[in-house]
A and B are shown apart, each in its own frame.
Chain A
Amino acid sequence: MPEVLDLEESVSTITVSAEQEAVPAASNASSGTTRRTFIASATGGFMLQFCLPGLSRVALAVGAPAPTQVNSYIQIGADNSITVLFGGCELGQGSMSGLAQLVAEELIVDWAAVKSVSAPPSAISYITGGSSAIRTNYLPLRQAGAAVRTMLIQAAANTWKVPVSECVASKGIVTHTPTKRTLGYGALAPAAAKLTPPANPTLIADANLKLIGKPMRRLDIPDKVNGRAIYGIDVRIPNMVFAAVKHCPSLGGTVAKLPANGNGITYVNLGNAVAAVANNTYSALAAVGAGGDNGGGGGANFQWNIPASAAQINSALYATQATSLMATGKAVNAELIGNPATSIKTATTTLTSTYTFPYLAHACMEVLNCTVNLTATTCEIWAPTQASGWVQATAAAITGLPLAAITVHTTLLGGGLGRKIEQDYIAQAVTIAKAIKKPVKLTWPREEDFGRDQYRPMVVSKVQGGLDAKHNIVAWENRIVTPSILAQRGWIAAGAEDGQATEAATGLPYAMLSRSVDFVVHPATVPIGFWRSVGCSFNSYVSESFIDELAHAAGIDPYTYRRTLLANNPRFLAVLDAAAQLGGWTTALPAGHARGIAISEAFGTVVAEVVEISGATATGLKVVKVSCAVDCGRVINPDSVTAQMQGGIVHGLSSVLWGHITFTNGAASVRNFNNYRLVRMADMPQINVKILSNTNAPTGAGEPGVPPLGPALANAYFRATGIRVRNLPFFPAASKMSDG
């Protein structure tokens, strides 16, 4: 029998409070005691099983309880191997390595001795999202690693019948100091497995940390330079057939008639889509018409029922609706400080600006895919997924099998960006497997990946600001009209506040006498989802552009103006100053260059960016340099944080320069990269990142680099041209991408 010990006091307050901050409405789901249990067993030598609280705010938003079941493991093999298995996934953010680094630190082993893999899901499982991997798991993982070390040392002391105090662990070996006897972790594993996990293992003191805070090489990278890394799309299982999918050209439409089977192709009706099943990927893709520059077709063989309501899925109509909702729509107040309606009357200067944002695609490099082997009693799934527990539930619902009969293998993800939380592609693959009764891999053509994304929502946001004669902000009134991701899914009541639609619009760091933030839900039916940095991706653009507009109205340098408004906010001030210094804010610029600055907080992390541009015209610009300063609390791997800032900046840049998707008759305007331009080598600025390291609790890294880029660029562009970009993207006419 495994020894079980409840660690009721094992604090997950860091986790819970961070999540509560992110999703106030859903915090009750997790606000009680989070039980953390360590279970020791002799599985494969010695295995410590435990539950990590990696429950993203997406799950909290659904009201899912915090995970209580085992979802993560540390295993010490008889061969001295050390494997950590996490409930999460590696989608490029490096957290599988960062998490392993925490365990290696507490085990006092060489970094090279550790392997990190995705664990099988538990019923209510870990969801990778919300820049949460490190910030929610930092303390629990260190505790787990420390528990294992403590048990290994205890096992050695018991073997030698000596006091624990005479034994030390280092590099995978326990030494009895007085006699110099040694035992390796592998040899100690069976004895350690019989011990009770300690309630309060002692963590390594800060002064003795050897791995945390060091740029350790990521464990996943070697296989990513030689083709050995296996993504979902690379999975092959015996006797597998290959499927591709084609959705109805209009959202809301359904299959009217399947094409006739033939030429080695079997068609499966998926309701709103047709799957073509073949004996290789190409034949399946060809059968659904993938690969044409205009995104498929597949000919008249596909017949669809397109409802009259599809005509209502139209971007011009949406723009009209949003304008009307901005004027008269029923609002929910998300934040109220003071009395802005009264205070605005005391202003000597008032400004009003309206900003609009388009739908955006995730455009992960690896298209959606899923491999399924379904038998009468079992279902095995291989998928690039951010939510393996949900995959299990999805398959259970379709197959009628119990959760225990469903095995999910989380592969590497060729990008996730929030899209691979969704279950649509999983459900399709399971449905196809059920229909054709063969193991199958479903691969979405790129055209379907763009055409049936769950898009970053469109937004219209209006701000009115008032300054007094001393340029203090006496009133700030922000009204946001946008579809609600949570309401569209029925996770909150229609018309309720969606905290993810107003995040980073509320809680602004600047001194303001009064402020209101109102949210009006736009009931557009285009499917929307979680896009890197979610609401911060547009709200920070608004607030940081508008602060710049106020600075300009006040005739004050925008960096200086921000400093004044942040006088009582040392954390923001330090980050702002660091970015300004890195970007040479006060230094002379070459002719034709201009700089802009912006700062924002996302997922607990504060990031400021200074963007330097050149050659700005009405139709284009060149980004020369981006200087980024970040405070994400304690840093586990500074090189990974730097990489996430670099990546977030590039992501933000593509989206604001060119990113936009419109809808006509329920069909997306973009079907492939030829119409969805992304930053490439020739567009790249020099990016410099400065991390403000400290010992505060770790905060997010994957997303916070995105939000400041857009407004910093807009502010630079205004400085260069006098043009204030309030309707995104900057250059829609330049959004085509060729092969050169």
Chain B
Amino acid sequence: MTTLNINGVNHTVNVPDPNMPLLWVIRDIVGLTGTKYGCGIEICGACTVLIDGSAERSCNIGVSEAVGRKITTIEGLSADGVSHPLQKAWIQLQVPQCGYCQSGMIMAAMENFPGGDGSGISNVCVCGTYQRIKAAIVLANTL
């Protein structure tokens, strides 16, 4: 059994394959599906989570590397799902289109929050919402 601290809660889970990346443990075993699969090779950033405050692409991180560290996923930003300043700004500026990459975008923004303008984010958004993401990060810094 493996114990992971996700969003402040310890989850003790049976990981069937020791090679299973953190992404799939979070999605399939723990059952938090806000973190997305996009490429599986750490390029697109849809799977971004915070590990001890650092934005990491979870699709290629072995689950053993995450044991004993604080993992934060999109579900952990606020209890009501809309009250974190980044969430408020994202809604106010109507950032998402299809929305699939947005969990990863918000978690990438979390790394430096509050602060920054998102210019260092290298995640992919096929819908092309980058301009609004930047504006929302700047706005969130003031909320």
Contact = CB atoms under 8 A, between A and B. Distances in A.
Interface of A: 91-94, 215, 217-218, 220-231, 233-234, 236, 242, 264, 279-283, 285-286, 290-293, 363-367, 412-417, 443, 445-446, 639, 643, 646-651, 672-674, 678-682, 684, 686-687, 737-740
16 contacts: A92-B97, A221-B91, A222-B81, A226-B75, A227-B35, A231-B36, A233-B33, A281-B27, A282-B19, A282-B28, A415-B127, A446-B37, A643-B129, A651-B128, A679-B130, A737-B43
Contacts of A365: 36, 38, 44, 46, 98, 100-101, 124-127
Contacts of A221: 90-91, 94-96, 99
B28 to A, nearest CB: 5
Nearest to B44: A673
Contacts of B19: 282, 286
A537 to B, nearest CB: 15
A681 B121 contact: yes
Nearest to B17: A283
Given A225-B91, A225-B106, A414-B98, A446 B57 contact: no
Nearest to A93: B97
A285 B118 CA distance: 32
B99 A229 contact: yes
4 nearest CB pairs, A to B: A227-B34, A650-B128, A414-B100, A92-B98
Nearest to A686: B131
Nearest to A233: B37
Contact of A226 (B24, B34, B128): B34
Contact of A446 (B38, B103, B119, B125): B38
A647 B34 contact: no
Nearest to A647: B128
Contacts of A220: 96, 99
Nearest to A679: B128
Contact of A673 (B41, B98, B125, B133): B41
A639 B130 CA distance: 15
Contacts of A684: 130-131, 134
Contacts of A740: 122
A649 B39 contact: no
B74 A94 contact: no
Given A225-B91, A282-B20, A680 B122 contact: yes
B98 A280 contact: no
Given A226-B87, A651-B128, A681 B33 contact: no
A739 B124 CA distance: 10
B91 A678 contact: no
A225 B101 CA distance: 10
B139 interface: no
Contacts of B128: 646-651, 679
B97 A94 contact: yes
A314 B24 CA distance: 37
A280 B20 contact: yes
Contacts of A681: 118-123, 130, 133-134
B42 interface: yes
Most buried by B among A225, A264, A684: A225
A217 B94 contact: yes
Interface in B1-60: 16-17, 19-21, 24, 27-29, 31-44, 46, 57, 59-60
A236 B129 CA distance: 28
B28 A414 contact: no
A681 B104 CA distance: 14
Interface in B101-143: 101-103, 106, 118-134
B122 to A, nearest CB: 6
B64 interface: no
B37 A443 contact: yes
Given A92-B127, A217-B91, A225 B39 contact: no
Contacts of A673: 38-39, 41, 43-44, 124
Contacts of A739: 41-43, 57, 122
Nearest to A229: B99
Contact of B24 (A281, A412, A417, A672): A281
Contacts of B134: 681, 684
A737 B44 CA distance: 9
Given A92-B98, A365-B101, A672-B41, A646 B131 contact: yes
Contact of B130 (A231, A290, A650): A650
B61 interface: no
Nearest to A674: B43
Given A227-B75, A367-B37, 4 more contacts: A364-B100, A364-B126, A646-B128, A646-B131
B36 A414 contact: yes
A740 to B, nearest CB: 6
A363 B102 CA distance: 16
A234 B133 CA distance: 24
Contacts of A417: 126
A678 B124 contact: yes
Nearest to A688: B131
A414 B39 CA distance: 13
A740 B66 CA distance: 22
A226 B38 contact: no
Contacts of B123: 680-681
Nearest to B19: A286
Given A227-B73, A646-B131, A222 B91 contact: yes
B43 A672 contact: yes
A678 to B, nearest CB: 5
A156 B63 CA distance: 62
A281 B40 CA distance: 12
A280 to B, nearest CB: 5
A226 B99 CA distance: 10
A276 B40 CA distance: 17
A367 B59 CA distance: 15
A412 B96 CA distance: 13
A674 B122 CA distance: 13
Contacts of B35: 227
B37 to A, nearest CB: 7
Nearest to A737: B43
A224 B33 CA distance: 12
A446 B38 CA distance: 7
A233 B38 CA distance: 11
Contacts of A226: 34, 74-75, 77-78, 81-82, 87
A635 to B, nearest CB: 15
B119 A682 contact: yes
Contacts of A234: 27, 33
A676 B21 CA distance: 24
B46 to A, nearest CB: 6
A366 B19 CA distance: 23
Contacts of B31: 236
B132 to A, nearest CB: 8
Most buried by B among A221, A364, A649: A221
